[in-house]
Amino acid sequence: MNCEDRYRRAMRGMAPSPAWREATLAAMKAAHRRKEDHRRRPLAVAAGAAVLVLAVTGGLWWSARMESDPDGPGVAQTPQPVVTPTPTSAIPQDDPRRNDTFSIVTDPNQLMGSNPTAGRLEELTELKVYEEPTLTDDTLQRALADALALEYGLTITDYQWDSLEDYHIPRPPTLTAQCADGSQIRLDGLGTQTILFDPARQEEFEARLTRKLTAVSGAVLAQEQLESYSFTGELYSSLQVCFVNDPTQPLSEQLYNYTFRRFSAQEGAVSQNTYPSVKGTYPLRSESDALASFHSGDYWGSHYTSHPDQAEILQVTIEYDFSPYPYIQPVYRILFTQNYWDEVIADWVHDGVDPASYMGVGVAYVPAVDPAYQNEIPYYRLFNDSLAHHTPDELE
């Protein structure tokens, strides 16, 4: 919660004195200036640390104001609804910028994560590409589901297998195992395993996965938290990821841990990745080449910008993408923003939501393997069962 949020919440239930109001408004303006400065420079801070800093410093600011101001908030009053006028956007209705799609956050660190390659891309010139086995029936998946059920104390009552043969793009077959207590085990190929369960058992399942990852002597877990908001001002998505972290290892090994020795958790669900076989080691295209591809309008992902050439780059990392089955290959993850998204947000947020509290952040993906090997290990990414590929033709 930032300074502006705290101020609005306080105003709903208190009648502040003039001195308190003046001091709080000054703090709000200072926070807004810091936010604008923060938006306009590249960032490379891990999300977990940033959220922690915001929480701690924010709490100190609020408690200090309450304790030290002799002209404090005053007498509590009946809360009144606060309606923040929504500014009129200067972007015309037929402007292509209105077709842009992005996430909204209160701070870009909320989508940065803790990828170990941030700020260290020059150390990587080649990486391994992994490969899942091609499955023609559900034999291997059933065996894996049975093993997971035994591990988590679940009893499978039914299996459902979808070979996905009708799709025009190769996709891993999916096995869903229904359990007696209502839980489900979902396997996408053999590479991704997701367990759905009663949210009341969240701590139990997370503890099991933590013990599995730290079974190796000396293994230490790190965390990252990824968040975004809806145009109603409510938290839209929150994903917590735990992964083995050993900064003494080479960067390629740290990336392996970040990809495969990890689990993600949301309410009532945990997901983990398996250790696949290696197809080979391939040279990488440079970061500048990947950025040039993005700026030209050639990139992948559910987010879209009509002016990629104007995008401000916030962070570039390399991560592994499980989308292009049967290959698990490295991609550049490009976090970016646009100045004009502030106007789009102001036009789209619901009544009563202060658009100044949010900023737009987009994520673009560019395959990291040298394009000379594209025919050998083709890359694609899906969104809503369609190719999520943006090309320069869309900008014309």
For 384-387, which contacts have Cβ atoms below 8 Å and span 24 or more sequence positions? 385/167, 387/169
Task: Give the model's pLDDT for residue 89.
Answer: 58
What's the whole-model pTM score? Answer: 0.76
SS3 (DSSP) at 85: coil
**Ranges of residues in the chain whose predicted pLDDT is under 50:** 1-25, 27-35, 38-86
pLDDT at 167: 64
What integer pLDDT is reported at residue 216 of this predicted model?
Answer: 82
**Are 361 and 111 in contact, with CB atoms under 8 Å apart?**
yes
Residue type, 86: T
Task: Note the pLDDT of residue 83.
Answer: 45
Long-range contacts of 58-64 (CB under 8 A, 24+ apart): 58/1, 58/2, 58/3, 58/6, 61/3, 61/6, 61/27, 62/6
Residue 109, Cβ density class (10 Å: 0-12 exposed, 13-18 middle, ≥19 buried):
buried
Question: Strand pairing partners for 363?
Answer: 335
What is the pLDDT, as a whole number, of residue 266?
86
Question: How far is it, in rounded angstroms, from Cα 42 to Cα 119?
Answer: 11
What is the reported pLDDT for 217? 74
Tokens matching residue 35: 């936010």
pLDDT reported for residue 88: 55
Predicted local confidence at residue 9, as pLDDT: 34
Q: What is the pLDDT of residue 70?
A: 31
How crowded is residue 301: how many other Cβ atoms within 10 Å of its Cβ? 20
Backbone angles phi, psi at 47, to 5 degrees: -65, -45
Cα distances from 49 to residues 118, 145, 225, in angstroms, run 14, 36, 9
Residue 171, token pair as written in the block: 């996709």
Neighbours of 199 (CB within 10 A): 10
